[in-house]
Amino acid sequence: MTLDDILAGLFPNGSDIGVAGAMISGSAIHPGAGLVHVLGISQGQPLGVDEAIVLARRVIEIVKSGDRAPILFLVDSASQRMSKRDELLGLSEYLAHLAKALLLAEAEGHRTVALLYGGSAAGAFIATALATGTLVALPGAHPAVMDLPSMARVTKLPIDVLKAKAEATPVFAPGLENMVQTGGIHVIWDDNAPLGPQLAAVLQRPQGQDDRAWLGTERGGRRKAAEITDRVVALAAAS
């Protein structure tokens, strides 16, 4: 499904959404949800300092508007841009700034939903898709927090060991179904059904409901996350 197909399916009455290079920005009126701000990154491009600061600025502008309209973040990217220039400029800080801007928007009353329709990986995935309140995906999307060869270089574990672990637990494995099992992706949309009602259903979920840890427990992808989360909250409340 192309970006044009997705936008047409989400907003059948048209939209004011533009694509400049790989950057998506604009807004549309959703039949069931009213005004929706739309932004994102497309064409499988890496997320560097230039893109991150533009996206973060747009999110902050939306928050400053005070309209509390939902924000839909469309994601089809590579990993973060690991060039010498980006690293020297402080790429990690730019990515963190973007993630915090999205968290701020959610805290200020904007529902933030990411739609993963292509690829994304590593820091780019964390700073966009995983930083929103709810992450959904279309069939064929291919997320990876870290691919296994990169994981092998970081952990110094043999690739065969990591492949065996990936088969045993979704936490170690890239891919759409594994991300669903961990609870990171709330639901995979049906691309044979109208997209507009599926977005409306996500936007009707209670504000601030972060159930990723519980979803991971129920789906068997992260068996201890919810239990540990509850224990930490209980200990914090007791102190």
pLDDT tens string 151-196:
888 889 899 998 888 887 777 677 888 889 888 899 999 999 999 9
How large a percentage of the chain has pLDDT more than 70?
Answer: 99
Domain ranges for the chain, please list them: 3-238
Determine contact, residues 144/7, Cβ cutoff 8 Å: no
**Contact, 141 vs 129, CB < 8 A?**
no
SS3 113: strand
Tens digits of per-residue pLDDT, 34-53?
999 999 999 999 999 999 99
The pLDDT mean for the chain works out to 90
Q: Write down the residue that tokens 């239990």 correspond to.
A: 227
Contacts of 127 (CB under 8 A, 6+ apart): 47, 52, 80, 95, 96, 98, 99
Q: pTM for the full model?
A: 0.89
Looking at residues 200-208, what average pLDDT do you find? 85
Fold for the domain defined by 3-238: 2-enoyl-CoA Hydratase; Chain A, domain 1 (3.90.226)
Q: What pLDDT is recorded for position 224?
A: 86
Average pLDDT of the residues in 202-209: 81
Contacts by residues 184-188 (CB-CB < 8 Å, ≥ 24 positions apart)? 184/130, 184/135, 184/143, 184/212, 184/216, 185/116, 185/135, 185/136, 185/137, 185/143, 186/134, 186/135, 186/136, 186/212, 186/215, 187/136, 187/137, 188/136, 188/137, 188/138, 188/139
CB 114 within 8 A of CB 75: yes
What is the structure's pLDDT at 172?
67
Predicted confidence band of residue 207 (pLDDT cuts 50, 70, 90): confident
Q: Per-residue pLDDT tens for 93-111?
A: 999 999 999 999 999 999 9
Q: Which of 139, 134, 158, 116 is nearest to 206 (CA)?
A: 134
Neighbours of 33 (CB within 10 A): 18
